[in-house]
Amino acid sequence: MAAQSVFRHRSDDAAPNSMDIARDTFTWLVAGPHPVSLNGRLFPGLPDRYIPLDEVRDRLLTRRCPQETRDAVWAHLVLRSRTEGATWTVAAVGVALPALTSVAAMLSDRFAGDPADVHAEVLRGFLTALSTIDLRPPRIMLRLRWAAYRSGYKALTEALSGPTPVAPGFRSTPPHAPWGHPDLVLARAVADGVLTQTEAALIGATRLDEVPVADWAAQHQLNEWAVYKTRKRAELRLAAYLRDCAIDSDLTDPLTDQVATAVALARPVTPTRDVPRSSLRVSTGDVEFAEKVQGRVSKTDAKSGVQGCGTHPRSTRPSEVSPCA
């Protein structure tokens, strides 16, 4: 009997989970003649009117929305959630739902266990960060998303660390759990102490999210070249960490190879005079040469002077040692 795989495809008729409940509750807040709204006059880049929160969410998701507007809106939502509670906490969750559902779907995709547990942990991580996050640095929503991601990832790793029940006797083995998204590699490097959270956020923003280093440095009030040096040192440690992991684990994971390759390509190429290592490629000429050498060393034809020795001597040679009397 084959063992059940740890992963499976999600069914379309899955039971409602915490994300579904949050979405339905948020829909009630923005429905009817008096939806929960924000005064657009308080935020640069928004219309000078009261804007329902679902429209605010859509405007924040557009590429042309300035980062200053996003941070101002999120600072307002976080403060009202802390001071007024229930309604504005649900409002903050509803505005963040596109990011939260993306994180939850990525973590629970093909997971054989109940995905509702992972979704609940993602939401719990977001709500915990909502009450503690520092509103002074920029990119508030990005940091809230990272907090939700780490909480869900921790729940996922705990669920996958347990043994999978298998039937006794001859059976197929469960497949290795994949590493998942490149963010998983950064999160695990932070958990193992290879990177700090700031270094992981720097690599994730400038490499994966394609944020220019100059913009990242300006947002954090840091020197641009200092940020470049910090990222280079962090990427060197990350590359060494990935190489060590590749030696000790299965090398069939394409995403790990993708991240390791991206980090390796980002390193400057320096000339070297070391003797190049022999190539692992095998050419046709090498095969033909090996066959010729094999033919000269090990004869198998009828004229072999090795296999025929001692069976049919052509002449009798006098013994070098006289026989004993």
Buried b (16+ CB within 10 A) or exposed e, 67-91: eeebbbbbebbbebbeeeeeebbbb
Percent of the chain with pLDDT over 90: 45
Position 297 pLDDT exceeds 50: no
Residue 156: per-residue pLDDT: 87
Banded pLDDT at 75 (limits 50, 70, 90): very high
Q: What does pTM read for this prediction?
A: 0.49
CB–CB of 208/182 below 8 Å? yes
What does the mean pLDDT of the chain come to? Answer: 76
CB 30 within 8 A of CB 53: yes
Specify the pLDDT at position 280: 38
Low-confidence winner among 41-50, 64-73, 163-172 (lowest mean pLDDT) = 163-172
Q: Is the pLDDT of residue 249 over 60?
A: no
Tell me what the mean pLDDT of segment 130-148 comes to: 95
Specify the range with the lowest mean pLDDT, choosing from 11-25, 65-79, 209-223, 231-245.
11-25
Model confidence at 302, in pLDDT bands (50, 70, 90)?
low
Q: What is the spatial distance between Cα 119 and Cα 14, in angstroms, rounded to a whole number?
A: 13
Cβ burial 216-236 (10 Å sphere, 16+ → b, else e): bbeeeeeeeeebeebbeebbe
Question: Exposed/middle/buried for 177, CB within 10 Å: 0-12, 13-18, 19+?
Answer: middle
Mean pLDDT is lowest, of 60-64, 188-192, 304-308, for 304-308
